[in-house]
């Protein structure tokens, strides 16, 4: 147990996740801070960590080893993939899907209704647009993702960006509204090619040396673990 988890009260955590048991039943194999709430019916993977004042609703699914920072809200029907990291003050509304190893920066924003009205609320899932964030993608602090888009695998959204359209795999986008600026390596470092490059060029990351090739659609990694 890490030093910053030394305050963890296992009995309190059992109450929070609806696991009052008799006969010495095993405690959950994930960490829930005493101020966090995990509703009965939520699925939480082994090794997950749910920190101060967060709330995971019934019907949400959290993958193994994911990490929810302080004041994170996860609605029913949301999926958070294995190893994903959701930083402080992020709300994952119904319709949001985070694939494995997604990073959501502090105070970034998801939406799930394109034309919200207080007078005419959308109170069922048919009114919620699906937003999918692909494997390994990064969303910078204070970015806004307008609902109904797909962020590609290993894409990189700059801090403060407003994303209104689909984002290709490995693409770097930033600005208001967000526009395509370049390509990111799996390790997060910017790659040399710019949008509009010719297809068939070999590209190597200057930091990790992963090998890439430009294509008509964008760029692809030649490594087996991509």
Residue 84, CA distances (Å) to 72, 73, 105, 118, 129 in order: 13, 14, 11, 32, 21
8 Å CB contact between 100 and 63 = yes
- pLDDT, tens digit (0-9, with 9 covering 90-100), for 92-138: 999 999 999 999 999 999 999 999 999 988 776 677 999 999 999 99
SS3 label, residue 10 = helix
Domain ranges of the chain: 3-196
Q: How far apart are CA 197 and CA 200, in angstroms?
A: 9
Grade residue 15 by pLDDT with cuts at 50, 70 and 90.
very low
Question: Among 53-57, 80-84, 156-160, 222-226, where is mean pLDDT lowest?
Answer: 222-226
Q: How far apart are CA 12 and CA 20, in angstroms?
A: 10
Handedness of CA 188, 60, 168, 225 (dihedral sign): positive
- What local confidence, expressed as pLDDT, does residue 166 receive? 98
Architecture of domain 3-196: 3 Solenoid (2.160)
Q: Which stretch of DSSP H or E encloses residue 11?
A: helix 10-16
């Amino acid at each position: 147990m890490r030093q910053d988890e030394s305050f963890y009260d296992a009995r309190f955590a059992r109450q929070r996740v609806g696991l009052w048991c008799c006969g010495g039943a095993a405690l959950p194999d994930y960490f829930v801070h005493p101020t966090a709430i995990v509703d009965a019916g939520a699925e939480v993977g082994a090794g997950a960590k749910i920190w101060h004042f967060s709330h995971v609703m019934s019907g949400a699914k959290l993958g193994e080893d994911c990490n929810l920072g302080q004041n994170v809200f996860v609605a029913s029907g949301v999926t958070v993939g294995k190893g994903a990291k959701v930083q402080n003050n992020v709300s994952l509304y119904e319709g949001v899907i985070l694939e494995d190893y997604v990073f959501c920066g502090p105070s970034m924003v998801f939406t799930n209704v394109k034309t919200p009205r207080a007078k005419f609320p959308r109170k069922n899932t048919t009114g919620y647009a699906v937003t999918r964030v692909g494997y390994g993608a990064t969303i910078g602090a204070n970015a806004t993702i307008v609902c109904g888009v797909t962020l590609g695998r290993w894409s990189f959204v700059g801090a403060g960006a407003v994303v209104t359209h689909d984002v290709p795999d490995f693409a770097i986008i930033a600005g208001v509204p967000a526009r395509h600026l370049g390509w990111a390596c799996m390790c997060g470092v910017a790659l040399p090619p710019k949008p509009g490059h010719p297809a068939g060029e070999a590209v190597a990351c200057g930091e990790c040396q992963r090998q890439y090739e430009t294509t008509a659609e964008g760029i692809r990694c030649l490594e087996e673990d991509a």
